[in-house]
Chain A
């Protein structure tokens, strides 16, 4: 009833090909973006920024990056944490060694580009190995990069503990310090990156990725070059992941050590992609929201309900319920939360009428 596209006729291919062809979707997304930029800063507390909104947005960006590789191009990767680390340490070294570039946009772009270069390098085996075997090869990249940032002291500027810290952050001369400033900067970057990702996956480059994913032999016979296509997916994916890694270091942590980007981070982001929905930009956000918010919610819920229990029991329960929920969602909808959302939209077209 509310969600009906009846009467919305397209008279040009351009109008038919836009990101949100349905008016209600356009209004909804616009409202969400306006609310995120204007309403949230008016009401949010520092806790909400640092523990919920900032992690959610940054990890959403990393999930978009991984989704391009796994969901759109069909190349399984367990090296996400490593590529985030490349982004973070490349950004750190540019910020440290070239103070004249103390502009976070430049610093993050550099981190992303370095991660893209490393992604291309570790994507090379994908021409020959597929599926689980490729997952193992990318796992090797994760361990290698972990080792490199822990052992090659130049990357961490020879600090004895291996921990690095950043401060005095600027964007075009504007200081970025307060949580709200960091939030707005991250939000702006994530919005732009999302539009870029969406544009790429709906154009001919995205179609080449999906063709390789769905049937690589047919794709090659149509004229796609498998290596070039796969490496472009690795590059774009790693770029997004690298920018997310740089933001995670600079704007979420402020000071970090290689452990911040270990194998657990790779799994966390892979879970976001799988639970959110492979091959869906929206799914990346839904998956990130689920993985970031659900543990916090589970942790707080007993307190809100007035149930008293020990913190140890609470944290064990949190793990168990969270794990059970992941299994439940995968059984109910293997295609992820994004598919649930699109089914809901299908139903809303008719609701409340039965036919």
Chain B
């Protein structure tokens, strides 16, 4: 049974007929689904199903050959990643993509870079507006650090942190941008049960406290069925299921994709 029976009306993002191929390899074929404002939407599927490609299309890193994406009522076919960031889409990566030479604090501060406007001149002198801006954003970042309970590693270079904490810092960097839509690419991969529980709690809290819409890719079915409101299932680049977790569990195509079909 789904733990969270909620209903949503407003569509934040909708994907219509997306097809993406690399040379002769079709990564995605005619995918359509939508993400409602305020929900936790999961994308699942076996390895190579095209889940990460889907996220890369949503935040403008890949450009699908066909189809369109409508975000906040604006339809677009091509978009640069920084434009997606400016419109409030933030993400984390499957393989941690932190800035390894920088401290936890600096990494999370980079999440607020789009909001930091003071120019070269004031930055060079570091007085007046530059210093005020830095302190104002530091305050916001410290709130995220408190929220994620990583105060003790604030000034540690992220390259020295254990894997679970790095994942958490990466979530913090995405949150620092105060996104409307947060894309999480396997936020719990490679974690032990306790770290997974912590991460689930953070994801749910982000959704509850900040009202952030979340789209996540995850392989742990227990986690997916517990925390998501609706689930999309991809297999070999095609959509084979879409619905609330209870429907997905009973969907024969999904069961076949995961368990294999007897011949």
B-contact 0/1 string along A1-36, CB 8 Å cutoff: 000000000001110010000000000000000000
Query: How many residues of chain B get a CB closer than 8 Å to chain A's CBs?
Result: 39
In the assembled complex, the Cα of A232 lies from the Cα of B113 at a distance in Å of 15
Given known pairs A13-B135, A14-B131, the reply for A221 and B124 (CB within 8 Å) is no
Pairwise interchain contact B123-A222, C-beta atoms closer than 8 A: no
Residues of A within 8 A of B81 (CB): 220-221, 223
Interface pair A213/B114, CB less than 8 Å apart: no
Kindly state whether residue B106 has any CB partner on chain A within 8 Å. Answer: yes
Stretch with Cβ within 8 A of B (4 or more), from A134-142, A172-180, A204-212, A326-334: A204-212
Query: A199–B123 contact, CB under 8 A?
Result: yes
Please report which residues of chain A, range 195-209, place their CB below 8 angstroms from some CB of chain B when the two chains form the complex. 196, 199-200, 202-205, 207-208
B98 close to chain A: CB less than 8 A? yes
Which A residue's beta carbon lies closest to that of B132? A14
Residues of chain A with a CB closer than 8 A to B109's CB: 204, 207
Q: Is B125 an interface residue (CB 8 A)?
A: yes
Q: A208 near B82 (CB under 8 angstroms)?
A: no
When distances are taken between beta carbons in the complex, the residues of chain A under 8 Å from B106 are: 207, 210
A221-B101 in contact (CB<8A): no
| Residue of chain B at shortest CB distance from A204 | B116
B41 beta carbon closer than 8 Å to chain A: no
* Bound complex: CA A277 to CA B106 (Å): 20
User: Are B124 and A211 within 8 A (Cβ)?
Assistant: no
Nearest CB in chain A: distance from B81 CB, A? 5
A201-251, CB < 8 A from B: 202-205, 207-208, 210-211, 213-215, 217-225, 232, 236
Report if A222-B120 is in contact (Cβ < 8 Å); known contacts: A17-B138, A217-B97: no
Query: Does A279 belong to the interface (CB within 8 Å)?
Result: yes
15 other A-B residue contacts (CB within 8 Å) besides A215-B99, A218-B98: A13-B142, A17-B138, A196-B125, A203-B130, A204-B109, A204-B113, A204-B118, A204-B134, A210-B106, A211-B102, A214-B98, A218-B93, A219-B110, A221-B85, A223-B177
Task: Pick the 9 closest A-B CB pairs, nearest first.
Answer: A223-B85, A218-B97, A214-B99, A199-B126, A204-B116, A223-B114, A196-B124, A203-B123, A221-B81
